[in-house]
A and B are shown apart, each in its own frame.
Chain A
Amino acid sequence: MVDFGGWDMPVEYSGIVAEHAAVRTAAGLFDVSHMGEISVEGARALELVQKVTSNDAARLAIGQAQYTGLMNPAGAFVDDFLLHKISDTHYFLCVNAGNQDGDYDYIVSHNTFGAKTENAGPRYSQLALQGPKSQAILERLTPAAVGALKYYRFTFGPVAGVDCLIARTGYTGEDGFELYFSPEHSEKVWGALLEFGAGEGLIPCGLGARNTLRLEAGMCLYGHEIDATITAWEANLGWIVKMDKGEFVGREALAKQKAEGAKRMLVGFEMLDRLIARDACTVYAAGREIGRVTSGSPSVFLRKNIGMALVETGSSAVGTEILIGIRTHRAAARVVPLPFYKRAK
Protein backbone atom coordinates (compact mmCIF):
# COMPACT_ATOMS: atom_id res chain seq x y z
CA MET A 1 0.00 0.00 0.00
CA VAL A 2 1.17 3.53 -0.68
CA ASP A 3 0.03 6.81 0.73
CA PHE A 4 -1.60 8.66 -2.18
CA GLY A 5 -2.79 12.08 -1.10
CA GLY A 6 -3.85 10.70 2.27
CA TRP A 7 -5.47 7.54 0.86
CA ASP A 8 -4.02 4.09 1.42
CA MET A 9 -3.95 2.75 -2.09
CA PRO A 10 -2.86 -0.61 -3.40
CA VAL A 11 -0.19 -0.19 -6.10
CA GLU A 12 -0.64 -3.76 -7.23
CA TYR A 13 -2.43 -6.99 -6.41
CA SER A 14 -1.10 -9.82 -8.58
CA GLY A 15 1.50 -7.61 -10.33
CA ILE A 16 1.40 -4.63 -12.68
CA VAL A 17 2.24 -6.68 -15.78
CA ALA A 18 -0.53 -9.24 -15.21
CA GLU A 19 -3.07 -6.58 -14.22
CA HIS A 20 -2.26 -4.44 -17.24
CA ALA A 21 -2.61 -7.42 -19.60
CA ALA A 22 -5.92 -8.41 -17.99
CA VAL A 23 -7.40 -4.98 -18.79
CA ARG A 24 -6.18 -5.11 -22.39
CA THR A 25 -7.38 -8.67 -23.02
CA ALA A 26 -10.20 -9.39 -20.51
CA ALA A 27 -11.07 -7.08 -17.63
CA GLY A 28 -9.73 -5.42 -14.50
CA LEU A 29 -11.41 -3.85 -11.49
CA PHE A 30 -10.00 -0.69 -9.88
CA ASP A 31 -11.04 0.85 -6.60
CA VAL A 32 -10.84 4.55 -7.42
CA SER A 33 -12.86 5.77 -4.47
CA HIS A 34 -10.18 8.36 -3.78
CA MET A 35 -11.47 10.35 -6.78
CA GLY A 36 -13.50 13.39 -5.76
CA GLU A 37 -17.05 14.27 -6.70
CA ILE A 38 -18.56 17.73 -6.91
CA SER A 39 -22.19 18.50 -7.60
CA VAL A 40 -23.35 21.76 -9.20
CA GLU A 41 -27.09 22.41 -9.24
CA GLY A 42 -29.45 25.22 -10.05
CA ALA A 43 -31.18 27.12 -12.81
CA ARG A 44 -27.85 28.74 -13.76
CA ALA A 45 -25.62 25.72 -13.06
CA LEU A 46 -24.60 25.57 -16.72
CA GLU A 47 -23.38 29.16 -16.63
CA LEU A 48 -21.13 28.42 -13.67
CA VAL A 49 -19.74 25.30 -15.34
CA GLN A 50 -19.15 27.19 -18.59
CA LYS A 51 -17.39 29.98 -16.74
CA VAL A 52 -14.71 27.77 -15.13
CA THR A 53 -14.17 25.07 -17.78
CA SER A 54 -12.62 25.06 -21.25
CA ASN A 55 -14.84 22.56 -23.05
CA ASP A 56 -18.38 23.43 -24.13
CA ALA A 57 -20.80 21.99 -21.59
CA ALA A 58 -23.72 23.38 -23.60
CA ARG A 59 -23.11 20.64 -26.16
CA LEU A 60 -23.87 17.90 -23.63
CA ALA A 61 -27.08 15.94 -23.76
CA ILE A 62 -28.64 14.68 -20.53
CA GLY A 63 -26.85 11.42 -19.73
CA GLN A 64 -23.66 12.44 -21.48
CA ALA A 65 -20.18 12.96 -20.03
CA GLN A 66 -17.36 15.20 -21.22
CA TYR A 67 -13.65 15.48 -20.49
CA THR A 68 -12.82 19.08 -19.63
CA GLY A 69 -10.35 21.38 -17.94
CA LEU A 70 -10.91 23.55 -14.88
CA MET A 71 -8.91 26.54 -16.03
CA ASN A 72 -6.98 29.26 -14.26
CA PRO A 73 -6.52 32.74 -15.78
CA ALA A 74 -3.27 31.60 -17.45
CA GLY A 75 -5.15 29.00 -19.48
CA ALA A 76 -3.51 26.27 -17.43
CA PHE A 77 -5.11 23.62 -15.28
CA VAL A 78 -6.57 23.89 -11.81
CA ASP A 79 -7.63 20.32 -12.62
CA ASP A 80 -8.95 18.09 -15.38
CA PHE A 81 -12.15 16.14 -14.84
CA LEU A 82 -15.18 14.35 -16.24
CA LEU A 83 -18.34 16.43 -16.35
CA HIS A 84 -21.65 14.52 -16.30
CA LYS A 85 -24.90 16.22 -17.25
CA ILE A 86 -27.58 14.70 -15.03
CA SER A 87 -30.28 17.22 -15.98
CA ASP A 88 -30.54 20.72 -17.43
CA THR A 89 -29.95 22.04 -13.92
CA HIS A 90 -27.60 19.43 -12.43
CA TYR A 91 -23.97 18.63 -13.27
CA PHE A 92 -21.83 15.97 -11.58
CA LEU A 93 -18.04 16.29 -11.67
CA CYS A 94 -15.52 13.50 -11.09
CA VAL A 95 -12.27 15.23 -10.14
CA ASN A 96 -8.77 14.27 -9.04
CA ALA A 97 -8.46 13.24 -5.40
CA GLY A 98 -5.63 15.60 -4.55
CA ASN A 99 -7.39 18.58 -6.14
CA GLN A 100 -10.86 18.01 -4.77
CA ASP A 101 -10.90 20.71 -2.10
CA GLY A 102 -9.04 23.21 -4.26
CA ASP A 103 -11.43 22.59 -7.16
CA TYR A 104 -14.41 23.03 -4.92
CA ASP A 105 -13.15 26.30 -3.47
CA TYR A 106 -12.27 27.53 -6.95
CA ILE A 107 -15.71 26.75 -8.34
CA VAL A 108 -17.40 28.36 -5.33
CA SER A 109 -15.26 31.49 -5.78
CA HIS A 110 -16.72 31.90 -9.28
CA ASN A 111 -20.27 31.11 -8.28
CA THR A 112 -22.05 34.37 -9.01
CA PHE A 113 -24.88 32.33 -10.49
CA GLY A 114 -26.60 31.22 -7.31
CA ALA A 115 -25.79 27.58 -7.99
CA LYS A 116 -25.90 25.06 -5.18
CA THR A 117 -22.52 23.36 -4.92
CA GLU A 118 -21.52 20.31 -2.91
CA ASN A 119 -18.09 18.85 -2.27
CA ALA A 120 -19.55 15.35 -2.37
CA GLY A 121 -16.49 13.08 -2.29
CA PRO A 122 -17.32 11.39 1.03
CA ARG A 123 -20.75 10.42 -0.30
CA TYR A 124 -19.34 8.31 -3.15
CA SER A 125 -17.29 5.23 -3.72
CA GLN A 126 -16.09 4.68 -7.26
CA LEU A 127 -15.11 1.46 -8.98
CA ALA A 128 -13.75 1.28 -12.53
CA LEU A 129 -14.49 -1.91 -14.45
CA GLN A 130 -12.25 -1.78 -17.52
CA GLY A 131 -11.46 -4.06 -20.42
CA PRO A 132 -13.17 -5.74 -23.39
CA LYS A 133 -15.15 -8.11 -21.13
CA SER A 134 -16.55 -5.31 -18.98
CA GLN A 135 -19.96 -5.20 -20.62
CA ALA A 136 -20.47 -8.96 -20.41
CA ILE A 137 -19.57 -8.90 -16.71
CA LEU A 138 -21.67 -5.88 -15.82
CA GLU A 139 -24.73 -7.26 -17.64
CA ARG A 140 -24.79 -10.18 -15.21
CA LEU A 141 -25.18 -7.81 -12.29
CA THR A 142 -27.56 -5.16 -13.51
CA PRO A 143 -30.93 -4.92 -15.25
CA ALA A 144 -29.83 -1.56 -16.69
CA ALA A 145 -29.34 -1.54 -20.46
CA VAL A 146 -25.59 -1.05 -20.23
CA GLY A 147 -25.02 -2.69 -23.62
CA ALA A 148 -26.94 0.13 -25.27
CA LEU A 149 -24.87 2.76 -23.46
CA LYS A 150 -22.51 4.55 -25.83
CA TYR A 151 -19.01 5.69 -24.91
CA TYR A 152 -19.12 8.74 -22.62
CA ARG A 153 -22.80 8.18 -21.80
CA PHE A 154 -24.18 7.26 -18.41
CA THR A 155 -27.34 5.95 -16.81
CA PHE A 156 -28.63 5.08 -13.36
CA GLY A 157 -29.42 1.60 -12.16
CA PRO A 158 -28.71 -1.05 -9.56
CA VAL A 159 -25.50 -3.08 -9.73
CA ALA A 160 -25.59 -6.09 -7.41
CA GLY A 161 -28.67 -4.43 -5.91
CA VAL A 162 -26.86 -1.17 -5.14
CA ASP A 163 -28.01 2.08 -6.78
CA CYS A 164 -25.27 3.38 -9.06
CA LEU A 165 -24.47 6.03 -11.57
CA ILE A 166 -23.10 3.82 -14.37
CA ALA A 167 -20.88 5.68 -16.85
CA ARG A 168 -19.24 4.19 -19.91
CA THR A 169 -15.97 6.00 -19.25
CA GLY A 170 -12.48 5.14 -18.13
CA TYR A 171 -8.81 5.94 -17.87
CA THR A 172 -7.26 2.92 -19.53
CA GLY A 173 -7.85 3.22 -23.28
CA GLU A 174 -10.23 0.26 -23.15
CA ASP A 175 -13.97 -0.05 -23.13
CA GLY A 176 -15.34 -0.04 -19.61
CA PHE A 177 -17.55 1.44 -16.96
CA GLU A 178 -17.14 3.64 -13.93
CA LEU A 179 -19.62 3.10 -11.12
CA TYR A 180 -20.45 5.70 -8.48
CA PHE A 181 -22.40 4.68 -5.39
CA SER A 182 -22.79 5.13 -1.67
CA PRO A 183 -19.64 4.01 0.21
CA GLU A 184 -21.35 1.65 2.65
CA HIS A 185 -21.91 -0.74 -0.29
CA SER A 186 -18.28 -0.79 -1.45
CA GLU A 187 -17.43 -4.31 -0.39
CA LYS A 188 -20.68 -5.67 -1.75
CA VAL A 189 -20.23 -4.23 -5.25
CA TRP A 190 -16.50 -5.00 -5.34
CA GLY A 191 -17.10 -8.57 -4.22
CA ALA A 192 -19.99 -9.21 -6.61
CA LEU A 193 -18.08 -7.90 -9.62
CA LEU A 194 -15.03 -10.03 -8.84
CA GLU A 195 -17.18 -13.09 -8.25
CA PHE A 196 -19.26 -12.72 -11.42
CA GLY A 197 -16.28 -11.57 -13.47
CA ALA A 198 -13.81 -14.27 -12.46
CA GLY A 199 -14.97 -16.56 -15.28
CA GLU A 200 -14.26 -13.79 -17.79
CA GLY A 201 -10.77 -13.25 -16.38
CA LEU A 202 -11.55 -10.21 -14.22
CA ILE A 203 -8.89 -9.48 -11.60
CA PRO A 204 -8.40 -6.61 -9.13
CA CYS A 205 -5.98 -3.94 -10.34
CA GLY A 206 -4.02 -1.26 -8.52
CA LEU A 207 -2.66 2.21 -9.15
CA GLY A 208 0.44 0.86 -10.89
CA ALA A 209 -1.49 -0.71 -13.77
CA ARG A 210 -3.83 2.28 -13.90
CA ASN A 211 -0.79 4.45 -14.59
CA THR A 212 0.76 2.25 -17.28
CA LEU A 213 -2.62 1.81 -18.99
CA ARG A 214 -3.39 5.53 -19.12
CA LEU A 215 0.14 6.28 -20.31
CA GLU A 216 -0.20 3.86 -23.25
CA ALA A 217 -3.53 5.53 -24.03
CA GLY A 218 -1.78 8.94 -24.04
CA MET A 219 -3.99 10.28 -21.26
CA CYS A 220 -2.78 13.07 -19.01
CA LEU A 221 -2.17 12.69 -15.28
CA TYR A 222 -2.53 15.83 -13.20
CA GLY A 223 0.79 16.84 -11.68
CA HIS A 224 2.63 15.25 -14.59
CA GLU A 225 1.38 16.21 -18.07
CA ILE A 226 -0.77 19.04 -16.77
CA ASP A 227 -0.66 21.39 -13.82
CA ALA A 228 -1.30 25.02 -12.92
CA THR A 229 1.54 26.17 -15.20
CA ILE A 230 0.94 24.01 -18.29
CA THR A 231 -1.64 25.38 -20.71
CA ALA A 232 -4.20 23.41 -22.68
CA TRP A 233 -2.36 24.06 -25.95
CA GLU A 234 0.96 22.95 -24.47
CA ALA A 235 -0.62 19.76 -23.15
CA ASN A 236 -2.02 18.91 -26.58
CA LEU A 237 -5.50 19.34 -25.16
CA GLY A 238 -6.71 21.87 -27.68
CA TRP A 239 -9.62 19.53 -28.39
CA ILE A 240 -11.13 20.36 -25.00
CA VAL A 241 -10.82 24.12 -25.57
CA LYS A 242 -13.85 25.63 -27.27
CA MET A 243 -12.96 29.27 -27.93
CA ASP A 244 -16.33 29.88 -29.58
CA LYS A 245 -18.42 28.96 -26.55
CA GLY A 246 -18.23 32.40 -24.96
CA GLU A 247 -16.28 33.87 -22.07
CA PHE A 248 -14.47 31.57 -19.62
CA VAL A 249 -11.59 31.84 -17.18
CA GLY A 250 -8.34 31.52 -19.11
CA ARG A 251 -9.84 32.24 -22.51
CA GLU A 252 -7.89 35.46 -23.00
CA ALA A 253 -4.55 33.82 -22.19
CA LEU A 254 -5.37 30.89 -24.44
CA ALA A 255 -6.31 33.19 -27.32
CA LYS A 256 -3.03 35.05 -26.91
CA GLN A 257 -0.99 31.86 -26.80
CA LYS A 258 -2.83 30.48 -29.79
CA ALA A 259 -1.93 33.58 -31.79
CA GLU A 260 1.70 33.56 -30.70
CA GLY A 261 2.17 29.80 -30.75
CA ALA A 262 3.07 27.70 -27.70
CA LYS A 263 6.79 27.57 -26.95
CA ARG A 264 6.61 24.03 -25.58
CA MET A 265 4.53 21.00 -26.40
CA LEU A 266 3.68 17.69 -24.84
CA VAL A 267 4.93 14.80 -26.97
CA GLY A 268 5.05 11.04 -26.83
CA PHE A 269 8.41 9.32 -27.14
CA GLU A 270 9.75 5.85 -27.52
CA MET A 271 13.18 4.86 -26.24
CA LEU A 272 15.67 3.75 -28.88
CA ASP A 273 18.28 2.73 -26.29
CA ARG A 274 17.42 -0.04 -23.86
CA LEU A 275 16.89 2.29 -20.93
CA ILE A 276 13.71 3.37 -19.18
CA ALA A 277 12.95 7.07 -18.88
CA ARG A 278 11.21 8.08 -15.67
CA ASP A 279 9.26 11.13 -14.55
CA ALA A 280 11.38 14.30 -14.32
CA CYS A 281 14.29 13.06 -16.44
CA THR A 282 15.82 15.91 -18.46
CA VAL A 283 15.38 15.94 -22.25
CA TYR A 284 18.17 17.17 -24.55
CA ALA A 285 18.51 17.94 -28.24
CA ALA A 286 21.34 19.60 -30.15
CA GLY A 287 23.46 19.51 -27.01
CA ARG A 288 21.17 21.48 -24.74
CA GLU A 289 18.27 21.03 -22.38
CA ILE A 290 14.91 21.25 -24.16
CA GLY A 291 12.47 19.88 -21.63
CA ARG A 292 11.60 17.16 -19.17
CA VAL A 293 9.86 13.83 -19.04
CA THR A 294 6.38 14.10 -17.52
CA SER A 295 5.71 10.34 -17.35
CA GLY A 296 7.97 7.47 -18.32
CA SER A 297 7.61 3.74 -17.95
CA PRO A 298 8.32 0.42 -19.51
CA SER A 299 5.37 -0.87 -21.51
CA VAL A 300 5.66 -4.60 -21.15
CA PHE A 301 2.47 -4.98 -23.15
CA LEU A 302 3.81 -3.04 -26.16
CA ARG A 303 7.34 -4.36 -25.58
CA LYS A 304 8.97 -0.95 -25.55
CA ASN A 305 9.87 1.81 -23.15
CA ILE A 306 7.64 4.83 -23.58
CA GLY A 307 6.88 8.18 -22.09
CA MET A 308 5.56 11.67 -22.50
CA ALA A 309 7.64 14.82 -22.27
CA LEU A 310 7.13 18.56 -22.35
CA VAL A 311 9.69 19.87 -24.86
CA GLU A 312 10.47 23.00 -26.86
CA THR A 313 8.11 23.23 -29.81
CA GLY A 314 11.03 23.12 -32.26
CA SER A 315 11.80 19.58 -31.13
CA SER A 316 8.21 18.34 -30.92
CA ALA A 317 7.65 17.01 -34.44
CA VAL A 318 7.06 13.29 -34.80
CA GLY A 319 10.32 11.61 -35.77
CA THR A 320 12.57 14.09 -33.93
CA GLU A 321 15.44 12.33 -32.17
CA ILE A 322 15.99 13.43 -28.59
CA LEU A 323 18.25 12.39 -25.75
CA ILE A 324 17.04 11.67 -22.25
CA GLY A 325 19.20 11.94 -19.16
CA ILE A 326 18.85 8.64 -17.30
CA ARG A 327 21.26 8.34 -14.36
CA THR A 328 24.73 8.83 -15.95
CA HIS A 329 23.52 8.13 -19.51
CA ARG A 330 22.09 10.24 -22.28
CA ALA A 331 19.80 7.75 -23.90
CA ALA A 332 18.38 8.07 -27.40
CA ALA A 333 14.64 8.36 -27.94
CA ARG A 334 12.34 9.42 -30.76
CA VAL A 335 9.19 11.52 -30.76
CA VAL A 336 6.24 9.36 -31.82
CA PRO A 337 2.52 10.01 -32.30
CA LEU A 338 0.14 9.73 -29.35
CA PRO A 339 -1.51 7.56 -28.22
CA PHE A 340 0.85 4.62 -28.00
CA TYR A 341 -2.10 2.28 -27.88
CA LYS A 342 -5.52 2.49 -29.45
CA ARG A 343 -8.04 -0.28 -29.02
CA ALA A 344 -9.59 -1.97 -32.04
CA LYS A 345 -13.16 -0.75 -32.46
Chain B
Amino acid sequence: MYPNDRRYTKDHEWIQLADNLGTIGITDYAQHELGDVVFVELPSAGTKVYAGKSMGTVESVKAVSEIYSPVTGEVVETNAALATAPETINSDPHGAAWLVKVRVNNAEAQTKGLMDAAAYQAFISEKEKGAAH
Protein backbone atom coordinates (compact mmCIF):
# COMPACT_ATOMS: atom_id res chain seq x y z
CA MET B 1 0.00 0.00 0.00
CA TYR B 2 2.52 2.62 1.11
CA PRO B 3 5.54 2.91 -1.20
CA ASN B 4 8.97 2.21 0.27
CA ASP B 5 10.68 4.94 -1.74
CA ARG B 6 9.63 7.79 0.54
CA ARG B 7 9.09 8.89 4.12
CA TYR B 8 5.96 9.86 6.02
CA THR B 9 4.86 12.37 8.65
CA LYS B 10 2.43 11.99 11.52
CA ASP B 11 0.28 14.61 9.75
CA HIS B 12 -0.07 12.22 6.80
CA GLU B 13 2.20 13.85 4.25
CA TRP B 14 4.80 11.94 2.28
CA ILE B 15 8.11 13.16 0.86
CA GLN B 16 10.14 11.45 -1.82
CA LEU B 17 13.77 12.59 -2.16
CA ALA B 18 15.95 12.69 -5.25
CA ASP B 19 19.21 14.34 -4.21
CA ASN B 20 18.19 17.72 -2.85
CA LEU B 21 14.75 17.76 -4.45
CA GLY B 22 11.81 16.61 -2.38
CA THR B 23 8.40 15.77 -3.86
CA ILE B 24 5.57 16.16 -1.33
CA GLY B 25 2.06 14.77 -1.26
CA ILE B 26 -0.61 13.54 1.15
CA THR B 27 -1.13 9.88 1.93
CA ASP B 28 -3.88 7.51 0.92
CA TYR B 29 -5.01 7.47 4.55
CA ALA B 30 -5.36 11.27 4.49
CA GLN B 31 -7.36 11.36 1.26
CA HIS B 32 -9.62 8.66 2.59
CA GLU B 33 -10.25 10.56 5.81
CA LEU B 34 -11.01 13.75 3.88
CA GLY B 35 -13.34 12.23 1.33
CA ASP B 36 -14.01 13.84 -2.05
CA VAL B 37 -11.34 16.51 -2.54
CA VAL B 38 -12.62 19.62 -4.30
CA PHE B 39 -9.90 22.25 -3.86
CA VAL B 40 -6.23 22.65 -3.04
CA GLU B 41 -4.36 25.80 -2.20
CA LEU B 42 -0.61 25.41 -2.69
CA PRO B 43 2.41 27.68 -2.33
CA SER B 44 3.79 29.03 -5.60
CA ALA B 45 7.32 28.49 -6.86
CA GLY B 46 9.83 30.52 -4.90
CA THR B 47 7.90 30.29 -1.62
CA LYS B 48 9.88 29.23 1.44
CA VAL B 49 8.27 26.43 3.44
CA TYR B 50 9.19 25.30 6.93
CA ALA B 51 9.21 21.87 8.51
CA GLY B 52 6.04 21.29 10.52
CA LYS B 53 4.46 24.56 9.35
CA SER B 54 1.39 24.88 7.15
CA MET B 55 2.18 25.33 3.48
CA GLY B 56 -1.31 25.08 2.06
CA THR B 57 -4.69 23.48 2.41
CA VAL B 58 -6.63 20.66 0.88
CA GLU B 59 -10.40 20.81 1.00
CA SER B 60 -12.99 18.13 0.64
CA VAL B 61 -16.73 18.65 0.55
CA LYS B 62 -16.90 18.27 4.30
CA ALA B 63 -13.64 19.70 5.64
CA VAL B 64 -10.54 21.82 5.26
CA SER B 65 -7.21 20.32 6.19
CA GLU B 66 -3.83 22.02 6.49
CA ILE B 67 -0.88 20.59 4.64
CA TYR B 68 2.24 20.70 6.82
CA SER B 69 5.59 20.75 5.10
CA PRO B 70 7.73 17.75 6.11
CA VAL B 71 10.92 19.78 5.52
CA THR B 72 12.30 23.29 5.34
CA GLY B 73 13.07 24.41 1.80
CA GLU B 74 11.96 26.38 -1.21
CA VAL B 75 9.17 25.44 -3.58
CA VAL B 76 10.42 24.95 -7.14
CA GLU B 77 7.27 23.57 -8.73
CA THR B 78 3.56 23.26 -7.94
CA ASN B 79 1.36 20.57 -9.45
CA ALA B 80 -0.79 22.79 -11.67
CA ALA B 81 -3.00 19.91 -12.78
CA LEU B 82 -4.59 19.81 -9.32
CA ALA B 83 -6.19 23.22 -9.85
CA THR B 84 -8.59 21.75 -12.40
CA ALA B 85 -8.57 18.11 -11.23
CA PRO B 86 -8.27 18.11 -7.42
CA GLU B 87 -10.05 14.74 -7.33
CA THR B 88 -6.76 13.18 -8.49
CA ILE B 89 -5.80 13.40 -4.81
CA ASN B 90 -8.45 10.75 -4.12
CA SER B 91 -7.58 8.51 -7.05
CA ASP B 92 -3.77 8.66 -7.06
CA PRO B 93 -2.47 10.31 -3.88
CA HIS B 94 0.98 8.69 -4.05
CA GLY B 95 1.51 9.32 -7.77
CA ALA B 96 -0.09 11.86 -10.10
CA ALA B 97 -1.40 13.93 -7.20
CA TRP B 98 1.95 15.08 -5.82
CA LEU B 99 1.51 18.61 -4.50
CA VAL B 100 4.81 20.47 -4.67
CA LYS B 101 8.51 19.92 -5.34
CA VAL B 102 10.82 21.55 -2.86
CA ARG B 103 14.57 22.24 -2.92
CA VAL B 104 15.91 21.00 0.39
CA ASN B 105 19.25 21.49 2.15
CA ASN B 106 20.57 18.59 4.23
CA ALA B 107 17.74 16.43 2.89
CA GLU B 108 18.88 13.25 4.67
CA ALA B 109 19.25 14.98 8.01
CA GLN B 110 15.89 16.69 7.66
CA THR B 111 13.97 13.51 6.90
CA LYS B 112 15.66 10.95 9.10
CA GLY B 113 13.16 11.61 11.88
CA LEU B 114 10.23 10.79 9.58
CA MET B 115 8.63 7.34 9.31
CA ASP B 116 9.37 4.76 6.66
CA ALA B 117 6.49 2.90 4.99
CA ALA B 118 6.37 0.11 7.58
CA ALA B 119 6.39 2.53 10.50
CA TYR B 120 3.69 4.67 8.89
CA GLN B 121 1.53 1.61 8.22
CA ALA B 122 1.87 0.64 11.88
CA PHE B 123 1.08 4.24 12.91
CA ILE B 124 -2.20 4.37 10.99
CA SER B 125 -3.17 0.82 11.99
CA GLU B 126 -2.94 2.00 15.59
CA LYS B 127 -5.14 5.02 14.76
CA GLU B 128 -7.72 2.86 13.02
CA LYS B 129 -7.82 0.49 15.99
CA GLY B 130 -8.40 3.49 18.25
CA ALA B 131 -11.20 4.77 16.04
CA ALA B 132 -13.08 1.46 15.88
CA HIS B 133 -15.86 0.99 18.38
Contact = CB atoms under 8 A, between A and B. Distances in A.
Contacts of B38: 276, 298, 300
Contacts of B110: none
A11 B39 contact: no
Interface of B: 35-36, 38-39, 41, 57, 59-62, 64, 133
A11 B131 CA distance: 14
A276 B62 contact: no
Contact of A300 (B41, B61, B64, B133): B61
A211 B60 CA distance: 14
A94 B101 CA distance: 53
Interface stretch (A12-20, A31-39, A189-197): A12-20
A208 B39 contact: no
Contacts of A11: 35, 62
A297 interface: yes
A278 B36 contact: no
A16 B64 contact: no
A288 interface: no
Contacts of B39: 274-276, 298
Given A15-B36, A274-B39, A297 B61 contact: yes
Interface in A1-29: 8, 11-12, 15-18
Across the A-B interface, the 4 shortest Cβ-Cβ residue pairs: A17-B36, A16-B61, A298-B38, A208-B62
Contacts of A298: 38-39, 59, 61
B3 to A, nearest CB: 24
Nearest to A15: B36
Contacts of B35: 11-12, 15-16, 208
A208 B64 contact: no
Nearest to B62: A208
Interface in A270-285: 274-276, 278
A279 to B, nearest CB: 11
Contacts of B61: 16-17, 208, 212, 297-298, 300
In this complex, the member of B38, B61, B64, B133 whose beta carbon has the largest number of chain A beta carbons within 10 angstroms is: B61
A300 B36 contact: yes
Nearest to B36: A17
Nearest to A329: B41
B80 to A, nearest CB: 14
Interface residues of A, number: 18
A327 interface: yes
A30 to B, nearest CB: 16
A208 B38 CA distance: 14
Contacts of B60: 16
A98 B36 CA distance: 27
23 contacts: A11-B35, A12-B62, A15-B35, A15-B36, A16-B35, A16-B36, A16-B62, A18-B36, A211-B62, A274-B39, A275-B39, A275-B41, A276-B39, A276-B64, A278-B64, A297-B61, A298-B38, A298-B39, A298-B59, A300-B36, A300-B38, A300-B61, A327-B57
Given A16-B62, A327-B57, 6 more contacts: A11-B35, A16-B35, A16-B61, A17-B36, A211-B62, A274-B39
Contacts of B64: 276, 278
Contacts of A211: 62
Nearest to B87: A17
Contacts of A208: 35, 61-62
Contacts of B36: 15-18, 300
A293 B62 CA distance: 15
A208 B36 CA distance: 11
A253 to B, nearest CB: 36
A155 B64 CA distance: 42
Interface string A291-328: 00000011010000000000000000000000000010
Contacts of B133: 8
Contacts of A274: 39
Contacts of B62: 11-12, 16, 208, 211, 297
B32 to A, nearest CB: 10
A212 B41 CA distance: 22
A246 B35 CA distance: 49
